[in-house]
Structure formats: structure tokens, C-alpha cells
Amino acid sequence: MHRFSTFVLALLLGAGLCAAPTSAVSAGSAGSPAKHQVTFDKYSLMLDGRRQVVWSGEFHPFRLPSPALWRDVLQKMKATGYTAVSIYFDWNYHSPAPGVYDFTGVRDMDRVLDLAAEAGLYVIARPGPYINAEVTGGGFPAWLSTQAGRARSDAPDYLAAADEWLTRIDRIIARHQYTDGRGSVILYQIENELAATGTSQQNYVAHLYDKVRSDGIAVPVFHNDKGRNGIWVPADSGVPGTVPGKVDLYAFDGYPGGTCRTDATPGSPSVAPDWGTYGPGGAKGGASASPNTPGFVAEFGGGWFDYWGSNGTYPCTAVRQGPGYERVFYGTNLANGLTLQNFYMTFGGTSWGRLPAPVVYSSYDYGAAIDEGRQLRPKALTMKELGYFLATVPDVAKMDRGDPVTPSSAAVKVYHNVNPDTGVQLYVPMHSPSNVTTDDSFTFPLSTPDGAYTVPVRLNGQDAKQLVANFDVAGQHLVYSTSELMAGTAGTLLLHGRPGEDGRTVLRYASRPRVDVLAGAVTTTWTGNDLRLDYRHEGLARVRISGGGRPAVTLLLADDPTADTFWLASGLLVRGPDLVRTADARSLTGDTKGARDLEVWGARGPVVRWNGAVVPMRPTASGSLAALRPLPGPTGPRLPELTGWRSAPGSPESAPGYDDSAWPTADRTTTNSTTPPPAGEPVLTADDYGFGVGDVWYRGRFTGSPGKQVSLRYGGGGAGMLQAWLDGQYLGENVLPSALASPPTTGTATFPVPEGLRGDGPHVLSVMVRNDGHNEDGGVNDAHKEGRGLISSSLTAATWKIRGGTADPVRGPLNSGGLAGERAGWSLPGFPDRSWTPAVVPAATAAPGTTWYRTTFSLKVPAGQDTSVGLTLGDPARPRSGGHYRVLIFLNGWNVGQYIADVGPQHTFALPTGILDPHGRNTLALAVTSDGGEGNGLEQVSLTDLGSARGGVPVRPVYSPGWRP
């Protein structure tokens, strides 16, 4: 099914948010009146008149080739406080050739949009045509590189191709829009980081807008401005220096955050910027470029990508942009009125197969809140605290600057905002500048209709707090609290703070209520009509308050680690499990990573079901139900050793007598590549012959002496490589430099010719070029048209043949390249390898060229358990080994990544469940391409547990057809 009723969506997505004034702009419907409205004013987005703080995370389904696991990630996002998911749709993932598109299997975008709505997440749709995203070609399919017209312009051939893509992807997105009640898509992005603003681009943006509207897109349309340049703002912006475009909203991106040093430890954090109401204003001030639309940061740093040859900074990035960063930077954004925030990435996943752009390797972990193995990092739980706070205090969606607040210490500052409709106040204290790492205790004055108060606060290092005052929640009136509010359900309030720090909460009553301290050390003071509670954030204190003219309430006063064990789901407050996925009054689903308590507020006793099993419960004095015994955790899986290897040589093209008669002749004389050959020489670039993805082989025949050396100019992308043989004798290998954030993507390989091969011939030169991706076109300069494969040769009289790969009809155009083994099905399950030679891994030595290794292994992960498995090559303690070799890793026919021993840094590769059979037999094939010789053979290969939990989601096997004769 690809339809969701209005009623279902209301259950999944509806929230009782505060009333909104008349909207300034409404998204029009295509054809008939909309069943729902997406509107906005200068403060926030509004859905059917309800204001929303859009708290979104970036997720790319194309980086997780197991559709069942899309549900896992989306449920984890919803559980950790996100209200929306931002999704790039990658053109090159769906189109192997002009006019050919595939939206089935792992490319079923209807399914991911259905799953997002099922999880209760709104969707920000970002289909390009250009997405960047560190994917090959920036999302452009390889075949687009042969076009004459400039990409990202009004060139007719480019517009025709872009329209072809948009017609197909818009057909899917349009039927999932919130506006007609069939889905949860609320925003649509045209283009991405388009920095050129000439007439051609103005026409282009207008064309895209008109195109998507004609395709039935009715939700607001925006462009994401790279780095806050005031480019592509709505026409009525009125801010000098901005560039207007045909868009409804202005959005921008930014990635502040400091550096990771070479030893992979967190560097000094940078200062949180003011990109909204507290900022400098003007065209380059962020949200100030469009004062009539809400503050919208379409990408804010949730980590950063890593590049070939680095020291492996993802763990460092996860810490650097971890809990302290999130509280300070994202809190600063909230204070600045950025009510639409999307965090890039929330789950990075894997740039599997030939998906990576030259700037990244296979892992796209990004240091994100959910790691590549789908495990929640500590920073995910801080995002949960912030997301739950916003769900509990919807007043944040409309805030004006309040009166300036002067704290008692010059080392800190306090943002102060007020909702003009409700009078709810938001205070955000942090160090000034925000990267100060000292421990400071201070006070600041607070004035509300309840009176004037002096509020004590402590800040230790990189930290900020979201504090509210004059707020009605759960039938109570909160005067103020120095603890952060995380949840307010019927009869329960959850507040939290840093471990060991003091907290104070003040509530107002008509008369003195009864206070029962059920757990923890809490002192109470009654003054006037204020009940003051003082405590320390240590574990979980419980206080029951009744009477005083208000409904009874249980205050749960937690330190952060304890607060992070709480989950909000369908009106229930749940404590104990490592994840709560779904909930109703009697049934819960979720994950446990060990034996865990279970306590539920709002459930109907005396039992609940956990993952389908009955759990006896008992009532508590806190108004909850508690399980009589802990929930069970996972059983450690026994991952087998990888043995029984067989191998076969895989570079037959290097032999002089190899039959290449069926290969195409490389004899074109013109090209649209930005790297044409010298005048008079044939075009050799692989894209011109339809081989734009993966490795490509060349065989050049010539007579006459090759001279003392042979030079070959080639394009290989990031850490690309070339190997050459003359008359079957190995000349050597050339690898493009790495350890650079912007690596060179072309180079010249020069090899000395052995004296015995310098005669008049005839000769044959065999060349293999590894293509590690097409350049992105961020500069709007057709960088994606840079040639891949050979560009030119010193052998000007040679006649060349060329052979690359073909698109895998199941795994898609980015799975396979032109290695002989790939073409022959050696990567596939079921291939008859019994005639191959038994092999020992690790291997002490290797022959030059490619050698294939195959084995099978069986897994017995317990039923009802989610174990994320990885494959580890070499020694993870070393970013690089000395071995001059690289490996393409195929699991059940799926290319899950590339290991480069002497470049690094990646050693462990995620094997997604679904591609991996956790309850059966799996085939592993490794294409090992070596420079040859001792020390350049395949290192140790083993399976690794990336994280286990009892629970998970049902996973169906991804279709993996095997070898056929």
C-alpha cells in the first residue's frame, strides 16, 4: 500500500500545538482544494494552522540498501525526538541510461515515504536534480557527463534531462504530500547550494519551480543556500544584496564546529553563531536574508564527512559535535528563531558500491547521532532531550526577543525570548564566548507575571540549557526551573540536569499543596503561592504533589543519564529500555541491550506486552506500572571465523593473447569531457563509451618502439589507481594522492619500459583504471564531466579497445564495474568456484593485478535479536598498513565497499541485515588488486559485532540472485 488516510496521519503526526494566527503564505494545491494546509509566517511553519518547530534529521535511503532497515532508522529517529526526516533522492541511483529508471527493490522511494509517515515523521523532500551529498557526480548519472550543455543552467539538453528525472521522482513525491492527506511530505527543495546567479541560473531555477508545480507539488518550495549568501530568497524579501528566485521559502546551511586533530581527538570547539534574530542581519546574516519567512537551516552540522587517507575522524567527530555541541549550537539556533532545523547527518550510513564521490570513502558514518551500524550514540540521546523539550513546549515556535538579561558573571550570556501570544519565556544560558571550557556558577534575574526572581545556574564547559518560565504544563503552572523540561504528560513531569548539579523548580498553587518525596533528597519551601523544590541531579528523585487547586502530579527529577532512559511514545512515558519504537495503552515494542527495568506511566494494567510477550506489572506510588522482573537482553552472537577460502587470478586482460575482439574500439574524435585528449588523438574517456561506473580496461595495440617510458594520463577520482602491462609484463601501479579533503582526481602515470620490450613490436599495452567516482559540480563548472579512465597516452599511434562494466539489473547501476570477475559473475552467490585453488588468508604475497577470493559462512543470530555485523580487514588500530593493495568487498553479490590498505582509514565495513542473512548461509567475495610482491597480499579478514539488541524490526532478505550459467 502507498496510501495513508487523513485519520491515520492525524494519529501519527497530529500534536496539540498552540493556535496560530492567519498565515502569511499558503502552499497552493494542484487542481483541487487541499485537504490540509502547509502555511508559514515569519515565525514558523504551520500545519493546518498549528505552529511547528520542525526538528529534522537527514537520512539517505540509498546509503542503506536494505529497505526493511529503513523502518529501523526512521523509528529510531522518531523515538529520539525528531519530528521530521530530510531525504535526498539520488538521480544516479535510479538511472543507468537516458530514459531508463528503476524505483523497485532497494530503490523503492514510495516505500521509504510510506515508512516515514508510518513512523510519524514529516518529510522534507530533496530530489535535486543536483544534490551534492558526497555522491558520485553530485547525484548526476554518469551518462549526463556526455551532454554538451552546461549542467545546472538553462541549456536545453540539460533541462530536458532534468525534467525527465523530475517527472519520475515527482510522480512519487506528489502522492505522499501532507496537503492532500496521502502522506507526510511538507516541504520540497529544488536544487542545492546553487552559487551561480547569472541569467542562465535564474531561468533554470524558475524552470524548476514551474516544473515541480506542474508535476503536482503543492507544498512550499525552497532552495538550500550554501553558507548564507542571501541567494535564492523569495521575491518579497526586500533585503538589499539578496538574490531573489522563484521559491517560497529561504533556507541556508552551515557547518560550524572546530576541528579534529591528526591524533583523532576533539579539537577546540568554535563559537556558536547567531544566524537569526540575535545576528548581524542583512543578506549574509542567515535567516535575516528573508525576514518574512521562518528561520530555516536546511543543513546544520550533525557531523562531517571523512576523506581517503585521513586518520579516521568519525569517532572524534561524534564527540566534537556531541552533547555539548548540540546543546550550545542547536540551542543558539532556537534562541535565534530558527524554527526549521535539519541536522546533516542523523544517520549517515554507507556509500556502498560505486556511490562515493572522490572526496569520501565507503563509510559515510559522519560521526552522526546514529552510527553506520545503526547504533545510537550518546549524542542521539541529547537530541532526544532537545526534541522532547520542543514537543512539550510548542510555544518555542513563536518567539520574540525579550528584555536583555544581565547575568552575575561576565563569563556567560543568557538569551531571553518571549512568546507574544502566551507569555511563555525561554532562557538559554551559555558561556560567552560559547567555546569557553570553564566551570561557572552564576545567577540571572527573571521577571514574569508571577513576580521577580533570582535564578541560580551552573555551566560546566561547552553547555547550554533550555529553561522555560511562566508555562502551564500537565495541569501545573511552572514559574521557572533550573532543570530542563523533558516531558509533561497527564499527571507526570520529567525534568533533568547535569549529574551532580543542583536544581530548583518553582510551581504556583492557589493554596499549599501536599508534597510527598517518594525517592531522592528533595527539600521544599512554601512562600506566598510558590512551592520551591531544591535538589541535586543524582539518579532519579520522585515527588508527588497533590492539592493546592491543581491536579495531582508526579515530578521526576533526573540526572541526564537517567533522563536518557525515558521515552515518550503515544502519550506514554516509559523508563528503562534502550529504545521504545511503538506504543499504545497496552503494548510496547523496542530494544534492550542488556537486562532492563520497565516502568510505564499512562499504561493500563495489570500487564503490558513488550515485543509481543506479556510482562506482569505492579502499580507504584509514582502513578506508574513497574515490571516485576527485568526485560531480557540479547544473547552474544557467535560469529564464525572465515575459513575455506578459494582464489583465482582475475586480470586475464593483461595477457598478450587475450581475446578482446568483442570489445568496443575507442575511436571517437569528439567529446564533451572537460579533459579532452590532445588534438588528433582518439577519445579514450570511459564515459564516452558508456562505461561511466567502476573499473575499466584498455588494450592498445601498436607497432614500433614504445621508447624508454610510457606515459598515461588518466582520471580515477579519489585515491584512483592505474595498473599497466606491456606485452604481458607488469609495468607498475600509479595511485592518485590522498590524505586531502579535496584530492586530485586526475594524474599521469609514467613507467620505464624494460629494455627487452623496446623493440618494434607488435606490442599490446594493457591498462586497468579504477574509477573512484565522478567529481561533484559544486562550482557549476561541469566538474562532473572530468574524464574517467584513460585520457591520453604517449603511444599516439596505438589502436585502443575498451571494456567496462554493465549495470546490475537488481543491485543497480552503481554496484559493479569492469573487472573480468565482475563480468563473469564471480561476485555472485552460487558461482561454481570448486575448481579454484584453496587459499590461505592472510596471504604473505600477491601477484600483480587482481586476485579473487571467495568463501561462505553461516550465521545463527537468535530470533528476535538485531545484531549489526561488520567485516574487518587488517588491523583497525592502524589507519593505514604498508600493503599496496585494495579490496572490493562483495557480500551475496552486493558491493558493500572498498578497502585500500595503504591509503585508509577504513578497516570495518557494515554488512546490512537483509543483504546479510543472519540466520543462514552467506557468500563473501573479495576482489584484491595488488601491486604484487611480499607484504602486498590480503591481510586478516574477520566478522565483527557492531552492536546487538534484543528487539529490532522484521527484516526480509533483499533479493540477491546468484550466478547463472
Enter the C-alpha cell of residue 847: 601477484
According to DSSP, the β-strands at 721-726 and 763-770 are antiparallel
- The model's confidence at residue 529, banded by pLDDT at 50, 70 and 90, is very high
Q: What is the pLDDT of residues 719-771, one digit of tens each?
A: 999 999 999 999 999 999 998 888 899 999 999 999 999 999 899 999 999 99
Question: What's the DSSP call for residue 301?
Answer: E
What are 177's three cell numbers? Answer: 504530500
Q: Residue 710's beta-bridge partner residues?
A: 751
Q: Which residue carries 491515520 as its cell?
A: 8
Provide the pLDDT for residue 928.
98
**Does position 854 have pLDDT exceeding 70, yes or no?**
yes
pLDDT at 853 over 90: yes
Burial of 877 (0-12, 13-18, 19+ CB in 10 A): exposed
Q: Roughly what angle, to the nearest 10 degrees, separates helices 67-79 and 109-119?
A: 30
The residues facing 702 across adjacent strands are 763
**Percentage of the chain lying above the pLDDT 70 cut:** 96
Q: What are phi and psi of 68, to 5 degrees?
A: -60, -30
pLDDT at 91 over 90: yes
Burial of 857 (C-beta count, 10 Å sphere; 0-12/13-18/19+): middle
Q: How confident is the model over 288-338, as pLDDT tens digits?
A: 999 999 999 999 999 999 999 999 999 999 999 999 999 999 999 999 999
Residue 664 CB-density burial (10 A; 0-12 exposed, 13-18 middle, 19+ buried): middle
* 3-state SS class at 408: coil
Give backbone dihedrals phi and psi of 204, rounded to 5 degrees, phi first: -65, -50
- Rounded CA-CA distance 394/51 in Å is 8
Question: What confidence score (pLDDT) does residue 262 get?
Answer: 61
Spacing of C-alpha 777 from chain mean position: 20
Query: At residue 30, does pLDDT exceed 60?
Result: no
Task: Give whole-number Cα distances, 886 to 413, 433, 708, 877, in Å.
Answer: 52, 46, 29, 18
Catalytic residue among 134, 193, 326, 776: 193
- Number of C-beta neighbours around residue 60 at 10 A: 26
> What secondary structure does DSSP assign to 846-896, as a single string?
--SEEEEEEEEEE--PPTTEEEEEEEEES-TTSS--S--EEEEEEETTEEE
Assess whether pLDDT exceeds 80 at residue 14.
no
Under a CB-based contact definition with an 8 Å cutoff, are residues 953 and 71 in contact?
Answer: yes
Catalytic annotation present for 193: yes
Contact 48, 36 (CB under 8 A): yes
Q: Give the DSSP letter string of 793-835.
A: ES-TT-EEEEE----BTTTBTTS--S-HHHHHTTTSTT---TT
Report the run of H or E that residue 332 belongs to, with start and end: helix 331-335
- What is the rounded average pLDDT of the residues 10-35? 40
Distance of CA 513 to the CA centre of its chain: 48
Distance of CA 328 to the CA centre of its chain: 21
Segment 403-411 long-range contacts (CB within 8 Å, at least 24 positions apart): 403/447, 405/444, 405/445, 405/446, 406/444, 406/445, 407/442, 407/443, 407/444, 407/457, 408/442, 408/443, 408/444, 409/440, 409/441, 409/442, 411/436, 411/438, 411/440, 411/442
Count CB-CB contacts under 10 A for residue 756. 8
Segments in 122-250 forming alpha helices (H): 156-174, 199-214
Q: How far is Cα 770 from Cα 539, in angstroms, rounded to an integer?
A: 55
- Tell me, what DSSP letter sits at residue 935? T
Answer yes or no: is pLDDT of 951 > 80.
yes
Average pLDDT, the chain: 94
Q: Which residues pair with 507 in a beta bridge?
A: 478, 531
- Predicted confidence at residue 16, as pLDDT, reads 33
Establish whether 58 is a catalytic residue. no
Residues 678-699 pLDDT 10s: 999 999 999 999 999 999 999 9
The CA distance from 745 to 738, in Å, is: 10
The 10s digit of each residue's pLDDT in 776-812 is 999 999 999 999 999 999 999 999 999 999 999 899 9
Closest of 697, 646, 651 to residue 848, by C-alpha: 651
pLDDT, residue 19, reads 29
What share of the chain has pLDDT > 90, as a percent? 92
- Cα–Cα distance measured from residue 527 to residue 509, given in angstroms and rounded to the nearest whole number: 11
Residue 749 bridge partners (DSSP): 712
Q: What pLDDT, on a 0 to 100 scale, did the predictor assign at position 264? A: 63
Measuring CA to CA, how many Å separate 7 from each of 78, 415, 572, 725, 759? 19, 40, 20, 67, 81
Chain segment 399-439, per-residue pLDDT in tens: 999 999 999 999 999 999 999 999 999 999 999 999 888 99
Q: How far apart are CA 721 and CA 368, in angstroms?
A: 30
**Residue 424: predicted pLDDT:** 98
**Torsion angles phi and psi, residue 532, rounded to 5:** -105, 130
Which DSSP category does 327 fall into? I
Catalytic residue among 58, 191, 299, 653: 299
Check if the beta carbon of residue 479 is closer than 8 Å to that of residue 471: no
Does the structure show a pLDDT above 80 at 5? Answer: no
Taking only the tens place, the pLDDT of each residue in 624-658 is 999 999 999 999 889 999 999 999 999 999 999 99
Q: What residues pair up with 772 in beta bridges, in sequence order?
A: 717
Buried b / exposed e along 396-428 (16+ C-beta atoms within 10 A): bbbbeebeebebebeebbbbbbbbeeeebbbbb
Q: Say if CB 290 and CB 239 are below 8 A apart.
A: yes
Q: Is the pTM of this model over 0.85?
A: yes
Give residue-wise pLDDT tens across range 158-182.
999 999 999 999 999 999 999 999 9
Assess whether pLDDT exceeds 50 at residue 13: no
The pLDDT, as a whole number, for residue 9 is 40
Helices (H) and strands (E) in the chain, counts: 12, 54
Within 10 angstroms of residue 291's Cβ, the number of other Cβ atoms is: 16
